[in-house]
Amino acid sequence: MNMPQPGSPQVAARPSIPAVRITAVRAAPLFGESPKGGWSAEIKPEDSIHAIIAVHTDAGITGYGSVFTDGRLAEAALKVLEPLFLGENALEPERVSEKLHQNTFWMGRGGTLTHTISGIDIALWDILGKVTGLPVGRLLGGTYRQRVQPYCSLLMEEPARMRDVVADYRAKGFRAFKIGWGPFGRAQDVKLDEAIVRAAREGIGADAKLFVDAGASDALWPHGLKWAMRSAEMLKDYEVGWFEEALRPDAIDDFCHLRRVSPVPIAGGEVLTRRQSFIPWLTRGALDIVQPDVTKVGGISEQRRIAWMAYDFGVKYIGHGWNTALGVAADLQLATAFPDVDLVEFIGGSPYVDGILAEPFTLDAEGYLSIPEKPGLGVEIDPDKLARYTPDVRSLLAP
């Protein structure tokens, strides 16, 4: 069979896409309504724990991303990174992000710089999608689904309050829930721990999915392996779908043992950054479910490599989505690109998720979120809404 040769009349010439150069990257710290985290040193509304990133280009196209860190740290990180990204081709997110990682290793891998690179990387994928006219999920190689189920992520409360809170979100249409942090484990009262979980199960009903997050990455976590094993046995009785952060985040040997003996799946990984950090957790069989955070781990470029690596090891990937609406948008695009992703995290009641987009996320009748099919991340920031949470939104949006 004779195949057309390049340059022959049978092959149509394809126009090349010229480089789109980065002219500026800006960060907008979010203040004013930061959601509680259930941490020992609790987040105050005026604290900054998230920032929005804007990457501007000489083509007049701007991409947006999200960073899970104090926005003032992100602003400082951009000054360090600026000589490395100015003038780079925004259509090459993986190469540009890897350049930033490789040339800042000596300043500390995994901290503020890595978190900030995450936001830049997400924004670069947003730009690539806008230039090509494709959603990020398709650029990542596939469209396995058009919608995905969000699980409503809520802080644990005292039992009576817990029952009411989850019932309220059930009434709003959610059919999957994660409760975490708060008094669970911290009060050192196993009866209270069980009462909280029982109340949540009663509030959402027998047909809803329930997950539990101990939050053992919190400061000075008081428990170890024996507590985690006992708690896992208790969670089984309430049909809990996974037990998250049951142990201190560096206790890999204990995680390996817990996973072997636990009657419920074991999840974790939100504090790890860069793909290399996940290798021992996957090769040693420490987790049933791995939960990298796209706004911390290095962005979409890193997240997709971790997700495929997990898939090859038979470990389920579900992103840690405790971030802004732009982080949720990135998680949704990743969710469409992998064969076995059936859940995304969605903070219940966070203004930074519900209150900054021109078209906020909405649940369908079955409690699912549609995955945006517009180019890039598929969402649009509303400047007037965002201005409520950042002191100078114009500097973020101006090229």
Chain centroid to CA 255: how far?
22
Q: Any idea which architecture 22-136+384-397 has in CATH?
A: 2-Layer Sandwich (3.30)
Domain ranges of the chain: 22-136+384-397, 142-381
Mean pLDDT of the chain: 95
Are the C-beta atoms of 319 and 292 separated by less than 8 Å?
yes
Residue 133 has pLDDT above 80, yes or no: yes
| Over residues 132-137, mean pLDDT | 98
Confidence at residue 118, expressed as pLDDT on a 0 to 100 scale: 98
Confidence at residue 226, expressed as pLDDT on a 0 to 100 scale: 98
Confidence at residue 2, expressed as pLDDT on a 0 to 100 scale: 54
Per-residue model confidence as pLDDT tens digits over 80-124? 999 999 999 999 999 999 999 999 988 888 899 999 999 999 999
Residue 324 has pLDDT above 70, yes or no: yes
Confidence at residue 392, expressed as pLDDT on a 0 to 100 scale: 87
Confidence at residue 399, expressed as pLDDT on a 0 to 100 scale: 75
Confidence at residue 231, expressed as pLDDT on a 0 to 100 scale: 98
With a pLDDT cut of 90, the percent of the chain lying above it is 88
Confidence at residue 45, expressed as pLDDT on a 0 to 100 scale: 86
Confidence at residue 16, expressed as pLDDT on a 0 to 100 scale: 86
Mean pLDDT lowest among 8-12, 125-129, 317-321: 8-12
| Over residues 142-170, mean pLDDT | 97
Confidence at residue 108, expressed as pLDDT on a 0 to 100 scale: 82
Tokens of 123: 């924004």
- Indicate the pLDDT class of residue 20, thresholds 50, 70 and 90: very high
- Residue identified by tokens 């053992």 is 216
Confidence at residue 109, expressed as pLDDT on a 0 to 100 scale: 83
Tokens of 47: 């604290």
Per-residue model confidence as pLDDT tens digits over 196-242? 999 999 999 999 999 999 999 999 999 999 999 999 999 999 999 99
Confidence at residue 246, expressed as pLDDT on a 0 to 100 scale: 98
Residue 11 has pLDDT above 90, yes or no: no
- Indicate the pLDDT class of residue 9, thresholds 50, 70 and 90: low
142-381 maps to which CATH number?
Answer: 3.20.20.120
Residue 352 has pLDDT above 60, yes or no: yes
Q: What is the CA radius of gyration of the chain?
A: 21
Three-state SS string over the chain comes to CCCCCCCCCCCCCCCCCCCCEEEEEEEEECCCCCCCCCCCCCCCCCCCCCEEEEEEECCCCCEEEEECCCHHHHHHHHHHHHHHHCCCECCCHHHHHHHHHHCCHHHCCCCHHHHHHHHHHHHHHHHHHHHHCCEHHHHCCCCCCCEEEEEEEEECCCHHHHHHHHHHHHHCCCCEEEEECCCCCCCCCHHHHHHHHHHHHHHHCCCCEEEEECCCCCCCCCCCHHHHHHHHHHHHCCCEEEEECCCCCCCHHHHHHHHHHCCCCEEECCCCCCHHHHHHHHHCCCCCEECCCCCCCCCHHHHHHHHHHHHHCCCEECCCCCCCHHHHHHHHHHHHCCCCCCEEEEECCCHHHHCCECCCCCECCCCCEECCCCCECCCCECHHHHCCCCCCHHHHHCC
Confidence at residue 168, expressed as pLDDT on a 0 to 100 scale: 98
**Bridge partners (DSSP) listed for residue 369:** 148, 363
Residue 394 has pLDDT above 70, yes or no: yes
Tokens of 391: 């002191």
Residue 6 has pLDDT above 80, yes or no: no
Confidence at residue 13, expressed as pLDDT on a 0 to 100 scale: 60
Tokens of 228: 């985690």
The rounded distance, in Å, linking the Cα atoms of 134 and 211 is: 34
